[in-house]
Amino acid sequence: MDWHNTSVLVTGGTGSFGRKFVEVMMKEYQPARMIVYSRDELKQHEMRMAGFDHPNLRYFIGDVRDLSRLQRAFNGVDLVVHAAALKQVPACEYNPMEAVKTNILGSSNVVNAALDAGVKKVLALSTDKAVNPVNLYGATKLAAEKLMVQSNAYAGGMTTRFSCVRYGNVVGSRGSVVPLFIKQRETGVVTLTDERMTRFWISLDQGVRFVIRCIEEMQGGEVFVPKIPSMTMVDLAKAIAPEAEIRMIGIRPGEKLHEVLISEDEARTTVELEDMYVVQPAAALWFGHQWADNGKTMPDDFHYASNNNSEWLSLEDIQRIIAPIEAGLEKGIE
């Protein structure tokens, strides 16, 4: 892919993912134009002050709920990474229509604006919570996934293609439990909802680089899932606060004991590659079905969950991963 002649836009560009994505793109890929699209002028200002100020970098203030603004922003854009979302589970539960407006209707606006502007590729970020969702956040992300995959039918004879990336919790991102545990460590008590709980984990840098790889390889209609390790939440608490008491407070509404990245129902169309899975579109779309030639198909009873994972992080692994996050928090870096 010729990044030097590509105009790239990222929605939610001032979030944890967006900032890291812009950093990697500008340092290593140097696109012809890099557009940060977000609704928060303060965070855009803070990005500029932090050194995100390059002649090829643009800042657009706008909301994915605003179709006309998206249409203006997408003019001349080749590639869109759709990372904007309301993602805090309790906030989505308490403000359900706001979650629907941003995560579902906002994704629909991204699709329509991309089709109207002739954007070549749109890659949307999803989450393990979209698989067999038990909370509103997961349900809205599932709907957003379906919108992206099925909107390839609208692309038809046009060049626009839509795909998704689905991965687990990002270590140290905004809203992550890691900063919370670090703060609780000072009190001598760390709270967990259930001692059996497991989670998938991926670093911000790994997530960004996986997205870039999927952009280069996507055909349209796929959901890309990286092979990532699991950890128990008890081990995470012990790694961060080994001297603290771990207190169980009970599972919260909308929370799962274990997360799932691929369900049994998706296994029929899933292909396993060396370091990722590709969920091919189940519907009869024109593209996105060539992956079986590159990997192996999965048995019908396969599912990829955080508690049946073949790769687990040890206490030492976790401590090594969170060390730079702790160092950043000590310096006042989010």
Q: What is the pLDDT of residues 175-196, one digit of tens each?
A: 678 888 988 998 999 999 999 9
CA dihedral 315, 320, 321, 323 (to 10 degrees): 120
Query: How far apart are the C-alpha atoms of 308 and 122, rounded to whole Å?
Result: 31
Is 224 inside a domain boundary?
A: yes
Q: Which of 329, 202, 331, 330 is nearest to 276 (CA)?
A: 202
Longest CA–CA separation in the chain, Å: 61
Given the residues 129, 141, 238, 256, select the one marked as catalytic. 129
- Asked if 129 is an active-site residue, the reply is yes
Is 125 inside a domain boundary?
A: yes
Is 233 inside a domain boundary?
A: no
Is 46 inside a domain boundary?
A: yes
Query: How far apart are the C-alpha atoms of 166 and 113, rounded to whole Å?
Result: 22
Q: What is the pLDDT of residues 140-154, one digit of tens each?
A: 999 999 999 999 998
| DSSP type of residue 291 | G
Is 37 inside a domain boundary?
A: yes
- Whether the Cβ atoms of residue 234 and residue 194 lie closer than 8 Å to each other: no
Domain count, the chain: 1
Most confident of 226-230, 253-257, 295-299: 226-230
| DSSP type of residue 160 | -
Residue 294: predicted pLDDT: 85
Residue 71: predicted pLDDT: 98
Is 75 inside a domain boundary?
A: yes
Is 82 inside a domain boundary?
A: yes
Question: What's the rounded mean pLDDT across residues 87-113?
Answer: 95
pTM assigned to the model = 0.93
Range of the domain at 126: 3-168+201-228+260-302
Is 253 inside a domain boundary?
A: no
Question: What's the rounded mean pLDDT across residues 29-51?
Answer: 96
> Which residues have a Cβ under 8 Å from the Cβ of 283 and sit 6 or more positions away?
149, 150, 153
Going by pLDDT thresholds of 50, 70 and 90, the confidence category of residue 333 is very low
Q: For 73-110, b where at least 16 C-beta lie within 10 A, e where not — what string? A: bbeebbbbbbbbbbbebeebeeeeeebbbbbbbbbbbb
Query: How far apart are the C-alpha atoms of 193 and 236, rounded to whole Å?
Result: 13
Residue with tokens 């899975």: 277
Going by pLDDT thresholds of 50, 70 and 90, the confidence category of residue 334 is very low
Q: What is the pLDDT of residues 262-318, one digit of tens each?
A: 999 999 999 999 999 999 998 777 777 889 888 999 998 899 999 999 999 999 999
Q: Look up residue 190 and give its two tokens.
A: 């760390």
Q: Which CATH number covers residue 122?
A: 3.40.50.720
